[in-house]
Amino acid sequence: MRALHPPLERMPLYGAASSRAIERQNTHLPLMERAGLAVAKLALALWPGSGPIWVACGPGNNGGDGLVAARWLAAHGLPVHVSLSADAGALPPDAAAAHARALAAGLPIHAEPPDTTPALIVDALLGLGLSRPPAGAVAASLHGVAKFAAQGARVLAVDLPSGLMADTGTALGEHTVRADHTLSLLTLKPGLFTGAGRAHAGQVWFDDLDVSPPGAHHPADAELLGDDALRPMPRDATAHKGSQGSVRVVGGAAGMEGAARLAARAALAAGAGRVYLDALSNAPGPADPAWPELMRAGAEPAVAQPGVVTLAGCGGGAAIATHLPGLLAQAARLVLDADALNAVAGSAALTSALQARTQPTVLTPHPLEAARLLGCTVPEIQADRLRAAQNLAERYGCSVVLKGSGSVIASPGHRLGVCPRGSAALASAGTGDVLAGWLAGLWAPEPEADLHALCGRAVSQHGAAGEALPLRASTLIERLSATLGAA
């Protein structure tokens, strides 16, 4: 068993169907006994040393894990209150066996939560089998978990916080558990790291139940990006500005020049040899008075040159639409953000032009932009962020960074990546412009890079730099620069 906190290694993620397939390959092993013992060990470590432990068990094998854990905890003399929010006669076979062993060990099993606030709650109500918003006895127990947690009880979720969908990180129902710790068993589930998952899972732990490697015969559904993605690429000692590629930022309509400047600064900080700012505001004066390194567009190399990355959209407003036909047709390497994505979503001609591109392209939508591009709603995007990113990548033939908590990286023919870095500190204006610029700047010197991996690198570095408050987009660029300096 181990805690997942930095430094993080790259790890495979398996949804519910894959986790069950791996479980079926290992039915000869006592998986529930191992799971319950792992839960008991972690509960013991987290128990504050006084006050009861409430083990809240549900109707399936997640409840079975809880019953095994409760038996171990009671055997160690800890004050345990076990509840079962289900008809014991209807438990699945393994959970029924765990129930029988708990009774045989003399453990009282109650129908109700405890009367007094527990010190620790083991949430074994629902795991992989969650199929609908909780109701009935399970919902009543979930209400109890929320009430006691508000009174200070710590919560350890078994496998998944009850109410959280394993595949998508969607919270079903109003009382989805907000755990302090979640112990993921046998496999790591993608829903712990994207959508509402990070807000509900707390500190994630993983125990492979001694089935190692868990997916030897089963491909992973996605990959959790590790801290190897944070490592900056070494720069050749003979590097010069001509060898580091160029970035041309097209954006910054009147009143939104700041967005394009942030993107351009980030591109320069990431390592692009030259950065040109093609401001749609047509305002006179330098590209960015505070950053004299940035050049006005005019004498820049043509976007069709392979050394040039074009970033279009940051603060682009409606004006960006007139530039897009040319950029989509010619740009050797293209990153589309913000208003460029909105323009594509609103135009069949631009959509066709994007789909017709043969040159590499990255889209960096937030959920609203993704919804416009897929012709659906934001809740539909958030209900399955992995699928949404995959659909975008396939529909447009591009690499896609779907931003938001647990950013998802998708590219045709690649395994989905989920980034566990970043925090709510990034929820402020301009941080998306910095990401787009940083990505373009990392790409500039590496025309041959694996674009999917490069997107993962950009998102991970941006997320890691965005984990501490206070944060303004400008501070983020400084922190990102410091990351490279630490190479």
Ligand X SMILES: NC(=O)C1=CN([C@@H]2O[C@H](COP(=O)(O)OP(=O)(O)OC[C@H]3O[C@@H](n4cnc5c(N)ncnc54)[C@H](O)[C@@H]3O)[C@@H](O)[C@H]2O)[C@@H](O)CC1
Query: Annotated binding site for (6S)-NADPHX: which residue ranges?
Result: 61-65, 127-133, 159, 259, 313, 366, 433
Contact status, residue 412 vs residue 395, Cβ threshold 8 Å: no
Closest among 289, 278, 286, 287 to 312, alpha carbons compared: 278
Select 211 or 269, whichever has its Cβ closest to ligand X. 211
Does residue 170 touch ligand X according to CB under 6 A? no
Q: Least distance to ligand X from the beta carbon of 21, Å?
A: 9
With CB under 6 A as the contact rule, the residue among 67, 82, 138, 314 that binds ligand X is 138
> Which of the ranges 62-70, 346-354, 366-374, 411-419 carries the binding residues for ligand X, by CB under 6 A?
62-70
Map the footprint of ligand X across residues 66-105, applying CB under 6 A. 92
- Cα angle vertex 124, ends 120, 128, to 5°? 140
Note the residue count of the chain: 487
Select 61 or 407, whichever has its Cβ closest to ligand X. 61
| Binding-site residues from annotation for AMP | 403-407, 432
Does residue 131 touch ligand X according to CB under 6 A? yes
Does residue 186 touch ligand X according to CB under 6 A? yes
Map the footprint of ligand X across residues 309-328, applying CB under 6 A. none
Does residue 32 touch ligand X according to CB under 6 A? yes
Both tokens of 54, joined, read 């409430």
Select 22 or 401, whichever has its Cβ closest to ligand X. 22
Select 91 or 153, whichever has its Cβ closest to ligand X. 91
Q: Least distance to ligand X from the beta carbon of 129, Å?
A: 2
Does residue 185 touch ligand X according to CB under 6 A? yes
Map the footprint of ligand X across residues 143-162, applying CB under 6 A. 158-159
Select 159 or 433, whichever has its Cβ closest to ligand X. 159
Q: Least distance to ligand X from the beta carbon of 72, Å?
A: 14
Map the footprint of ligand X across residues 42-61, applying CB under 6 A. 58-61
Interface positions with ligand X (CB under 6 A): 19-20, 23, 31-32, 35, 58-65, 92, 126-135, 138, 158-159, 185-186
